[in-house]
Amino acid sequence: MIAKAGTYEPRSIKRARRSAGEMEELEEGLVRIVEKERPTTVRHVFYRAVAEGLIPKTEAAYKGTIVRLLTRLRRAGSIPYGSISDNTRWTLGVRSYGSTGEAVASFARAYRRNLWADADSRVEIWCEKDAVAGLLADTASESCVNVMVFRGYSSVSYLYSLAEDIRAHGLPTYVYYFGDHDPSGVDVERFVTKTVREMAPDAEIHVQRLAVTERQIEEYNLPTRPTKKTDSRARNFEGDSVEVDALDGATLQELAESAILSHLDSREIAQLKLVEKQERETLTALARKLKRRAS
């Protein structure tokens, strides 16, 4: 069977039991993907493996192959545990310290200058999925930009909190959206945008989809899947569907970074970063002094 470019079509070798050589090739491919994409998530590795033709795009391949192999590769030391994160779970608790020196040292590591203190606008990153939010978190945090995750159709309470935050700042807000190109993904973007605007009617809110777009599907030859016509939201949707995870992590990060930096003055940012570095060094020196006193 001939498939059009970019469309995944399972091959016979994927359905049969893999030979030792094929399994080794798959494991090497997963290690390579993680090294390139880290920090990443299990789900994103799965989509990248699908995009590279290493595995079929099925839930069985995800749970029975990717999850199992990534666990084995981490236990074997082939992939560092810290390279793959799980952003769907967290721990509630209180951070405590053994001394004021430890507390100041921790603060020094986390210290960031507010790059938007004198800006006449602000930026937010909105994501449909945890996996993509995890990939964009470091890029966004470097520029003091928040990443919001919807996980589908978010609750009214969550969207109200976003609207209230935008209203409280009182500045034009530029939102860059990352979501699937499918009926649900497009409709989630419409729903959250419409709801937040209704909840903050006086706020100036600009929303732009950065990924996935129809142009990117063609440009990067992204793997597609047939759109489910049974989906009630598919009535006004044309073409095949593509997950945002199909784009590699570097591309997603570059898209976010470029959008964010377009709102900032590069010379001012360079100066603020220099001041930030000096202030962090001052805090680190204070932490050492306090530790010496405590010892």
Six-digit token pair at 91?
């721990």
The alpha carbon of residue 210 and the mean position of all alpha carbons in its chain are separated, in whole angstroms, by 12
Q: Is 127 within 8 Å of 179 (Cβ atoms)?
A: yes
Asked if 122 contacts 165 with a C-beta cutoff of 8 angstroms, the reply is no
pTM assigned to the model: 0.78
Phi, then psi, of 222 in degrees rounded to 5: -70, 145
pLDDT number for residue 12: 39
Angle value at C-alpha 235, between 8 and 227, nearest 5 degrees: 10
pLDDT at 252 (0 to 100): 94
Note the pLDDT tens digit of each residue in 223-270: 888 888 887 888 888 889 998 988 988 899 999 999 999 999 999 999
pLDDT at 4: 41
> Which CATH code, of 3.40.50.10490, 3.10.520.10, 2.60.40.2470, 3.40.1360.10, is assigned to 116-263?
3.40.1360.10
Please say whether the dihedral angle defined by the alpha carbons of residues 240, 26, 46 and 220, taken in this order, is positive or negative.
Answer: negative
User: Which carries the bigger pLDDT value, residue 38 or residue 182?
Assistant: 182
- 131 backbone dihedrals φ, ψ, rounded to 5°: -55, -45
39 contacts 85 by C-beta, under 8 angstroms: yes
Q: Please, which contacts does 219-223 make with residues 24 or more away whose CB atoms are closer than 8 Å? A: 220/246, 220/247, 220/251, 221/5, 221/6, 222/6, 222/51, 222/246, 222/247, 223/6, 223/7, 223/8, 223/50, 223/51, 223/57
Instruction: Decide: 34 and 83 in contact? Cβ < 8 Å.
Output: yes
What value does the mean pLDDT of the chain take? 88
Cβ-based neighbour number of residue 175 at 10 Å: 23
d(CA 191, CA 177): 13
If one counts every other C-beta atom within 10 angstroms of the C-beta of residue 251, the result is 14
Of 18-32, 56-70, 76-90, 272-286, least confident by mean pLDDT is 76-90
Average pLDDT over residues 265-287: 94
pLDDT recorded at residue 166: 97
